[in-house]
Structure 1
Amino acid sequence: MRGKDEDTGDFLGPSRSAQRREALDVLELAKLLVELDPGRLAKLPLGEHLLPHIAQARRISSNIARKREIAFLAKQLRREDDDALDALRDALDVDGEAARLDTARLHRAEAWRERLLGEDADAALSALLDEFPGADRQRIRQLARNTLAERKANKPPRAFRELYREVRALLDADGAGGSGQPAGDESEDGLLQERL
């Protein structure tokens, strides 16, 4: 029973309807977690204690038993603090901050790759090494040369993809420390990075 404040007459806690809405919201979150593929699930900020419950709910094929297991998962999720649930919802949200940051990092990696393959590749490599001093100059130069050779020979883009992975690893390792934005790039991603 939530009761009323004697002095002001205000209710002391959330109404039963608000509690029910919140519980149903967490239940929907639990259903979504069970339906996610394992690769995406591994990237979410989930506690290790929740993973066995998700795996158990996936294994169950009986509709009623699965529903009961998802309800139990929702109960476990409700024990988490609000910040953890908000972080989880944000990571699942396509328009969430985490998704925007990941997309911005992807675009920055693509911009660096294109710049490394452009006409002024030596200047781009120097700028990349200035931005990321721990980068392997020889490996990046080799991947850029192999990519250009692949394009000339009309081969599959193996080195092209490997160059992207190398640049992406540099950006991921750098995290929020540096902008990682190629100089002179005034795209939307540059504006997003400025907000960070």
Structure 2
Amino acid sequence: MMQEDESADESLEPSRSQLRREALDIFKLAESLAALGEAALARVPLPDDVRIEVERARAVTSHIAHKRQTQYLAKQLRHLDDEEIEPIRRALAHDREKAHVETAGMHRVESWRERLLAEGDEALAEFIGAHPSADRQQLRTLVRNALAERKANKPPHAFRELFRAVRELLG
């Protein structure tokens, strides 16, 4: 009877591997917080003492010192309970998702720009069909100038202007 009680108690405690995974997960959370930009960090709901430690970790530039400070930040995060950690995780996940959507939008703009440069009037007609408010003449001029810049090895001024114009229209 005594052995059953001991084995039941042992099964309730997390394994050493599980504790290590949880500690590593918290350390990765601390690294993510320390890597955030100012605007993104402002959107994360952090207790004041943890926010101060995040700022300290962000301020350290030496690799070893930064890692040590991040480990200390992780230690502070381990003191928080699940109700305090979960909003932090959700905010970081939302920030990553938003960055992914922005990146996908930039790829779409770049793809259209490359098609306009490679396929010429065919791609332009398709783009105008999809975006009737686009100024055909302006886009045609930007495409022509970007191709001339590329051919003459000049700085990509029109190339960038074409990107901005397409981004506005896709926006």
TM range (shorter): 0.5 to 0.7
The verdict on how the C-alpha distance between 1:27 and 1:154 changes in structure 2, with shifts beyond 3 A counting, is closer
Number of equivalenced pairs: 151
**Matching residue's letter, 1:81:** E
Q: Given the two structures, how large is their TM-score scaled by the length of structure 1?
A: 0.51
**Matching residue's letter, 1:146:** N
The verdict on how the C-alpha distance between 1:67 and 1:80 changes in structure 2, with shifts beyond 3 A counting, is closer
Aligned sequence identity (%): 41
**Larger mean Cα displacement after TM superposition, 112-121 or 15-24:** 15-24
Q: Secondary structure at the match of 1:156?
A: coil
Gaps of 5+ in 2: 1-11
- More helix by proportion, 1 or 2? 2
Matches of 1:154 and 1:127 in 2, distance apart? 28
CA-CA distance at 1:141 after TM superposition: 3.2
Query: Any conservation in 1 of the 2:27–2:71 contact (CA below 8 Å)?
Result: no
The within-5 A match list for 1:41-190 is: 47-50=43-46, 52-53=51-52, 54-60=54-60, 67-72=71-76, 79-81=84-86, 85=89, 88=92, 99=100, 104-121=104-121, 123-171=122-170, 173=171
Gaps of 5+ in 1: 1-13, 174-196
Q: Given the two structures, how large is their TM-score scaled by the length of structure 2?
A: 0.56
Matches of 2:119 and 2:154 in 1, distance apart? 21
Q: CA RMSD in A?
A: 4.4
CA-CA distance at 1:74 after TM superposition: 6.1
Matches of 1:151 and 1:135 in 2, distance apart? 24
The verdict on how the C-alpha distance between 1:45 and 1:33 changes in structure 2, with shifts beyond 3 A counting, is closer
